[in-house]
């Protein structure tokens, strides 16, 4: 069965950096696009980033462009999110999520359990 396990969350000061990882199992990571989605405490879901199956295309929500970078290592079945210049408004649970397809057009069919990132001011 599909499993997505996030790690790397924690407390960081404003302006700091964190790198999230997502270990994928139960499917062939190299065949699917992947996403990061976040949820601030008590708020709704906010999409953060997308990466095509081969890493060839990446898209980001405007508020993280230039600060966050999504990447993948298909040989290690792992998805990453490098987060720099963190702001208090980046505080959220970050979910790793699998797409139904290899490219743009479809959306998420499986979600990880999430990892909490807290940015202190």
Q: Can you tell me the distance from the alpha carbon of 95 to that of 113, in angstroms, rounded to the nearest whole number?
A: 7
Residue 88: CB minimum distance to other proteins, A: 20
The token pair that represents 15 in the structure block:
């302006």
Q: Collapsing DSSP states into helix, strand and coil, what is residue 16?
A: coil
Q: Tokens 């999520």 correspond to what residue?
A: 97
**Which CB atom, from 13 or from 105, has the smaller least distance to other proteins?**
105
Q: Restricting to residues 94-113, name those near other proteins by CB under 8 A.
A: 95, 100, 104-113
Interaction pattern, residues 6-35, with other proteins; x per rule: CB under 8 A:
-----------------------------x
Using CB under 8 A, which of the segments 14-22, 23-31, 46-54, 66-74 binds other proteins? Answer: 46-54
Contacts with other proteins: how many residues (CB under 8 A)? 24
- Is residue 60 at the binding interface for other proteins, with CB under 8 A as the rule? yes
Q: Can you tell me the distance from the alpha carbon of 112 to that of 24, in angstroms, rounded to the nearest whole number?
A: 9
Q: Tokens 């295309």 correspond to what residue?
A: 57
Q: Tokens 């057009």 correspond to what residue?
A: 105
- Is residue 77 at the binding interface for other proteins, with CB under 8 A as the rule? no
Q: Of 113, 117, 119, which is closest to residue 6 (Cα–Cα)?
A: 113
Chain residues binding other proteins by CB under 8 A are 35, 37, 44-47, 50, 59-62, 95, 100, 104-114
């Amino acid at each position: 069965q599909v499993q997505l396990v996030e790690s790397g969350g924690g407390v960081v000061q404003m302006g700091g950096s964190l790198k999230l990882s997502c270990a994928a199992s139960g499917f062939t990571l190299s065949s699917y696009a992947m996403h990061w989605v976040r949820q601030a405490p008590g708020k709704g879901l906010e999409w953060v980033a997308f990466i095509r199956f081969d890493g060839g295309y990446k898209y980001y929500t405007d508020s993280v462009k230039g600060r966050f970078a999504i990447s993948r290592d298909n040989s290690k079945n792992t998805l990453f999110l490098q987060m720099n210049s963190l702001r208090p408004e980046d505080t959220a649970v970050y979910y790793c999520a699998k797409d139904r397809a290899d490219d743009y057009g479809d959306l998420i069919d499986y979600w990880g359990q999430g990892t909490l990132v807290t940015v202190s001011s």
